[in-house]
Amino acid sequence: MNIDERLEAIAQSVELLAGMQKETENQMNRLAIQMDRLSKVSSGLANRNVRLETLVVDIAEGTARLLRAVEAHEQRIADLEGNQRQ
């Protein structure tokens, strides 16, 4: 293999590497765009999660208040029934 053939082989290798580098850069750009979108979606989901946690807490507190009211009514009924039997 003479020097011209070697230079041609090196030039072809460099062209292949340059093409591969360009494709890698394109893929990295697409990946960056997808990561940005994913970040926005993730942020939106985090906000929804906070709202859902607030709703669950509100429902739990409301249920606890209802339970206390039911227990108080049951106690009043039991007291009334106890007084009527005497």
- Position 50 scores a pLDDT of 95
- Position 82 scores a pLDDT of 85
Distance of alpha carbon 36 from alpha carbon 32, whole angstroms: 6
Helices of type H across the chain: 3-85
| Dihedral (CA of 15, 21, 27, 29) sign | negative
| Dihedral (CA of 30, 34, 36, 37) sign | positive
Query: pLDDT tens string for the chain (86 positions)?
Result: 899 999 999 999 999 999 999 999 999 999 999 999 999 999 999 999 999 999 999 999 999 999 999 999 999 999 998 877 65
- Position 85 scores a pLDDT of 62
- Position 83 scores a pLDDT of 75
